């Protein structure tokens, strides 16, 4: 639900069918393949109990927020058990829950974001309103306009990330492979001093 195209949520199952677990075990890893997280209950509850519209420029806000909380709680639990979570999903909105869960346990984690896109938007700056372009923007601890992070009171479903939620400092993040970056994201990268390597570097 972090973007509008059908089929991206089939990614984990297709990777399983193509032998991801076998490939990882051949590299010497012990693998616990958890079943897919149950987002169907979130969707059914949302459809039957919710008449609230999405806030401006935040598509599928409640579903993405609640799904991110479910993922964050799962990642946090596995890390707390000493496991290394390999999160496989459909679109980059899973970065919200993945990073949140990791940062709860290891707040000083360095992040190497290998992507053509910066994913540094928020609903205030996004041109599409799709959350797959917002994981890093939502979790940054500051912006060019504010010394504080994003105000999650404006996003239903994201209450779990209120002022106590984990945040990313600019020095924790490095981009590799940037190619298609929005003007507001360029401004953030420059003003916050985030290390960035483009496709041509």
Per DSSP, the residues of 52-91 read: PPPPTT-TTHHHHHHHHHHHHHHHHHHHHTT-------SS
Residue 94 · residue 2 · CB < 8 Å: yes
Q: What is the mean pLDDT of residues 76-101?
A: 92
> Is residue 92 pLDDT above 80, yes or no?
yes
Q: Give the per-residue pLDDT at 8.
A: 73
The pLDDT-based confidence of 96 (bands split at 50, 70, 90) is very high
Give residues with Cβ within 8 angstroms of 79, minimum separation 6.
85, 101, 102, 105, 106
Q: What is the pLDDT of residue 46?
A: 59
Average pLDDT of the chain, as a whole number:
89
Portion of the chain with pLDDT greater than 70, in percent: 91
Rounded CA-CA distance 146/154 in Å is 16
The per-residue pLDDT for range 150-181, each reduced to its tens digit, is: 888 889 999 999 867 899 999 999 999 999 99
């Amino acid at each position: 639900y972090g973007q509008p195209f059908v089929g991206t949520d089939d990614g984990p199952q297709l990777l399983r069918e193509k032998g991801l677990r076998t490939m990882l075990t051949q590299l010497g890893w012990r693998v616990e393949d958890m079943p897919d997280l149950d987002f169907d209950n979130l969707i059914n509850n949302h459809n039957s109990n919710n008449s609230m519209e999405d806030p401006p420029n935040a598509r599928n806000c409640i579903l993405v927020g609640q799904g991110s909380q479910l993922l964050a709680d799962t990642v946090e639990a596995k890390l707390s058990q000493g496991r290394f979570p390999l999160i496989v999903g459909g679109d980059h909105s899973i970065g919200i829950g993945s990073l949140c869960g990791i940062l709860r346990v290891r707040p000083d984690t360095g992040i190497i974001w290998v992507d053509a896109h910066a994913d540094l938007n928020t609903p205030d700056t996004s041109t599409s309103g799709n959350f797959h372009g917002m994981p890093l923007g939502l979790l940054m601890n500051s912006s060019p306009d504010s010394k504080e992070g994003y105000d999650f009171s404006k996003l239903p479903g994201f209450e779990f990330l209120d002022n106590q939620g984990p945040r990313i400092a600019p020095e924790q993040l490095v981009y590799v492979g940037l190619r298609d970056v929005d003007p507001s994201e360029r401004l953030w990268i420059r003003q916050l001093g985030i290390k960035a390597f483009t496709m041509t570097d």
